[in-house]
């Protein structure tokens, strides 16, 4: 974990620029305060050196404002205008000061307008900035104008102009450090030390304000060269100054002579250069190791992708924005019947069925415009042998945020077998629906057609039995009784068959139906049978459901009637209940009857299936088949849980609806 002070070190060009501007504003602000309060220490670093002039402090402040506008996060137009205006003023003040100094040099006297009360703070001989400072500000104003234009060429030209300014500024600091008066004084006018420091900070801020130029790209880039340059530049600027100053100090103090001083400088420079070379080599080696690790990781990633691409169980293709195939895997070649070389000469339109091409191109246009991240479509493709196959194509773009999309990728899954199965299932379902309709129509027609002759047979047989009872002998009476009973059972069977066929053909529309009311009607129809058996029927709260009310009544009537019919020696006790279970209502009809052995529980719902003789329990064996058909029509299922001699519980489900459930009390 880094120490806290490392967090104070600027980590970006923008941070360095803001720090440099802070230094400029602090120096210029202290200078202005020093002039207002007449504090010599604030005007200059030492009384031995000249103080910074007021106009120079103002130029520093305007330059800082211009650069601060350039460093703003938003690209508002007013920022550029402020930068241009401030740069123009700074350059104008510098050029005017240079002109006044040159005129005075040529004429040997001050012009009257240079000493006027209005211009005295700017051009007067006592408050005028040094000609070197004026030259620097005139050039720096041009730099601000070029940087404020915003274009990369203008910014690059601005940094080109800034280079001689930076050299002159560096020369001023070197002159003060080594006491070389000619480096910071020209025409008997010296650049103050605080001016030199502020100019250095201002140059740093101007360079870092636009790190994207041809000059700053080398230092601000993320490459190894940029990292090395950022490490070497401060050392190369500072170490020679430190070594030179130490030599000069040692010679002046008499510690060693000039020959020893030169030798020490050579040794120190060599050691410094060796240290810088070692540090740079170490940095480059560390960068190379990271690069090698990244390349190895990239190779492993590419190998994994290549294996996944080639060995995938689905077809994969890479295409350019025009739809031309750039890369395909082996599975896609198998799906389409082409070789890899043949597919790479084709486009999307060549392998897509013409009737599906427009539909996919519409989705592809939205994908390439990055309106959608991906799309899936089921379409027909054309194999090399001319056969048409079905595929599910899922297409997506690379995650890169570039506005220009170089490629996109599609995964094709062969779903021909599924489509064929779906088509076969659809035809089977249509045939089955048609067959069921024909069977229902046949059952209905047959039942109607049999009604009339059967009614005639039954009527004449009953008339024959009535008029000839005891006249034709005992055998004849028995035969006639058999004939009458058979005709009646046949009529009952036809009625039940007609009821079975009408479950689907004559059913009414589903509506909100109170299950309690449906049960009431069923019990009213069974009132006589329940009373004769001494039975008791109770129920819990029953809901309101979406159902055919008539068929729900018939369902309850058949189930409760079966419980009464197949009773044990004890009086029947029947309980009807309902509860929510998942997305359905679960109804139950429980009794204490004779029960049903497990091996026979599946047979009882088949039409005309009976477990007992007609002598034991009369009926046609179609009642439970009707119940199952009613439940299936309502989207539910019907089953039984029972054991021989243990009673039976019939369960059926009906879909749950969001309607308010009505609950009524037990039937008395």
Does 344 lie in the same domain as 229?
A: no
Are 218 and 225 in contact by the 8 Å Cβ rule? The answer is yes
Does 243 lie in the same domain as 137?
A: no
Measured CA to CA in angstroms, residue 335 lies from 329, 380, 387, 462 at distances of 10, 12, 11, 76
Does 58 lie in the same domain as 195?
A: yes
Alpha-carbon torsion 48, 53, 59, 62, what sign? positive
Q: How confident is the model at residue 391 (pLDDT cuts 50, 70, 90)?
A: very high
Last residue in a domain, options 286, 305, 324: 305
Mean pLDDT of 194-206: 90
Q: For 434-473, how does the pLDDT look when each residue is reduced to its tens digit (9 = 90+)?
A: 776 766 676 666 666 666 676 777 777 777 777 776 666 6
Q: How confident is the model at residue 96 (pLDDT cuts 50, 70, 90)?
A: confident
Q: How far is the C-alpha of 218 from the C-alpha of 225, rounded, in Å?
A: 7
Q: Is 197 within a domain?
A: yes
Q: Which of 62-71, 301-310, 481-490, 577-586 has the lowest mean pLDDT?
A: 481-490
- In this prediction, residue 35 carries a pLDDT of 83
Are 627 and 558 in contact by the 8 Å Cβ rule? The answer is yes
Does 178 lie in the same domain as 72?
A: yes
Least Cα distance to 286 among 227, 218, 221, 219 occurs for: 227
Last residue in a domain, options 476, 506, 536: 506
Instruction: Report the run of H or E that residue 103 belongs to, with start and end.
Output: helix 77-107
Q: Is 621 within a domain?
A: yes
Does 530 lie in the same domain as 381?
A: no
Are 576 and 519 in contact by the 8 Å Cβ rule? The answer is yes
- CB neighbour list of residue 564: distance below 8 Å, 6 or more residues apart: 526, 529, 530, 533, 535, 572, 574
Q: Is 664 within a domain?
A: no
Last residue in a domain, options 480, 506, 532: 506
Q: How far is the C-alpha of 608 from the C-alpha of 618, rounded, in Å?
A: 12
Does 271 lie in the same domain as 160?
A: no
Q: Is 663 within a domain?
A: no
Q: Quickly count: other Cβ atoms within 10 Å of residue 148's Cβ.
A: 24
Does 542 lie in the same domain as 496?
A: no
Does 588 lie in the same domain as 528?
A: yes
- In this prediction, residue 179 carries a pLDDT of 80
- In this prediction, residue 497 carries a pLDDT of 63
Give the CATH number for residue 319.
3.30.450.20
* Tally of domains in the chain: 5
DSSP 118: T
Give the CATH number for residue 514.
3.30.565.10
Measured CA to CA in angstroms, residue 280 lies from 22, 185, 217, 238, 266 at distances of 31, 37, 19, 17, 21
- In this prediction, residue 24 carries a pLDDT of 92
Q: Which domain holds residue 41?
A: 4-211
Does 125 lie in the same domain as 169?
A: yes
Does 363 lie in the same domain as 301?
A: no
- In this prediction, residue 380 carries a pLDDT of 92
> Coil, helix or strand for 76?
coil
> Coil, helix or strand for 601?
coil
Q: Decide if pLDDT at 157 tops 70.
A: yes
Q: Is 483 within a domain?
A: yes
Does 577 lie in the same domain as 466?
A: no
The two three-digit tokens of residue 159, written as one number = 């940094």
Q: Is 216 within a domain?
A: no
Are 661 and 578 in contact by the 8 Å Cβ rule? The answer is no
- In this prediction, residue 222 carries a pLDDT of 66
The two three-digit tokens of residue 395, written as one number = 């297409």
Alpha-carbon torsion 83, 88, 93, 98, what sign? positive
Does 38 lie in the same domain as 169?
A: yes
Least Cα distance to 84 among 171, 149, 28 occurs for: 149
């Amino acid at each position: 974990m880094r120490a806290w002070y490392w967090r104070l070190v600027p980590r970006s060009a923008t941070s360095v620029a803001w720090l440099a501007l802070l230094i400029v504003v602090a120096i210029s602000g202290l200078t202005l305060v020093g002039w207002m309060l007449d504090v010599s220490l604030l005007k200059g670093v030492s009384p031995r050196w000249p103080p910074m002039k007021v106009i120079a402090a103002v130029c520093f402040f305007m330059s800082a404002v211009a650069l601060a506008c350039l460093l703003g996060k938003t690209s508002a137009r007013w920022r550029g205008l402020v930068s241009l205006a401030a740069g123009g003023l700074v350059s104008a003040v510098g050029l005017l000061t240079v002109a006044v100094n040159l005129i005075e040099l040529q004429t040997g006297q001050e012009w009257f307008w240079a000493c006027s009360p209005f211009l005295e703070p700017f051009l007067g001989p006592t408050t005028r900035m040094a000609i070197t400072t004026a030259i620097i500000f005139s050039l720096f104003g041009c730099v601000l104008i070029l940087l404020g234009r915003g274009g990369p060429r203008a910014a690059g030209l601005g940094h080109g102009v800034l280079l001689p300014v930076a050299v002159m500024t560096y020369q001023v600091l070197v002159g003060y450090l080594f006491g070389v008066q000619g480096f910071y004084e020209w025409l008997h006018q010296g650049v103050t030390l605080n001016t030199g420091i502020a100019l250095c900070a201002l140059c740093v801020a101007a360079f870092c304000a636009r790190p994207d130029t041809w000059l700053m790209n080398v230092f601000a880039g993320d490459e190894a060269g940029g990292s090395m340059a950022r490490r070497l530049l401060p050392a190369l600027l500072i170490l020679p100054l430190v070594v030179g100053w130490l030599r000069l100090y040692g010679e002046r103090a008499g510690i060693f002579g000039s020959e020893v001083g030169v030798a020490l400088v050579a040794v120190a420079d060599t050691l410094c250069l060796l240290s810088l070379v070692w540090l740079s080599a170490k940095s480059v080696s560390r960068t190379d190791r990271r690069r090698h690790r990244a390349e190895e990781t990239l190779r492993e990633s590419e190998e994994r992708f290549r294996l996944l691409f080639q060995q995938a169980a689905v077809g994969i293709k890479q295409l350019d924005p025009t739809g031309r195939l750039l890369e395909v895997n082996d599975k896609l070649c198998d799906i389409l019947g082409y070789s890899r070389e043949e597919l790479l000469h084709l486009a999307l339109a060549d392998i897509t069925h013409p009737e599906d091409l427009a539909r996919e191109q519409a989705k592809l246009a939205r994908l390439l415009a990055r309106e959608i991240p991906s799309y899936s479509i089921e379409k027909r493709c054309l194999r090399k042998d001319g056969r048409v196959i079905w595929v599910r194509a899922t297409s997506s773009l690379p995650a890169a945020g570039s506005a220009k999309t170089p490629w996109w990728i599609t995964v094709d899954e062969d779903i021909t077998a599924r489509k064929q199965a779906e088509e076969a299932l659809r035809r089977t379902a249509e045939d089955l629906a048609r067959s069921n309709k024909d069977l229902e129509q046949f059952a209905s027609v047959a039942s109607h057609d049999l009604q009339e002759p059967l009614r005639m047979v039954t009527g004449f047989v009953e008339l024959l039995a009535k008029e000839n009872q005891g006249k034709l002998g005992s055998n004849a009476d028995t035969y006639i009784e058999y004939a009458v009973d058979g005709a009646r059972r046949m009529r009952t069977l036809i009625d039940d068959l007609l009821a079975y066929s009408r479950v689907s053909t004559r059913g009414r529309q589903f509506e909100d139906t109170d299950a309690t009311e449906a049960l009431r009607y069923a019990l009213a129809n069974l009132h006589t049978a329940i009373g004769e058996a001494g039975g008791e029927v109770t129920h819990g709260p029953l809901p309101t459901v979406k159902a055919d009310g008539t068929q729900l009544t018939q369902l309850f009537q058949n189930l409760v009637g079966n419980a009464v019919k197949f009773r044990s020696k004890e009086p029947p006790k029947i309980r009807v209940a309902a509860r929510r279970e998942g997305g359905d209502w679960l109804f139950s009809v429980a009794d204490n009857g004779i029960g049903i052995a497990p091996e026979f529980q599946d047979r009882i719902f088949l039409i005309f299936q009976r477990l007992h003789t007609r002598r034991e329990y009369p009926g046609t064996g179609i009642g439970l088949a009707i119940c199952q058909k009613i439940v299936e029509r309502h989207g539910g299922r019907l089953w039984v849980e029972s054991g021989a001699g243990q009673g039976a519980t019939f369960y059926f489900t009906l879909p749950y609806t969001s309607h308010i459930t009505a609950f009524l009390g037990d039937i008395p």
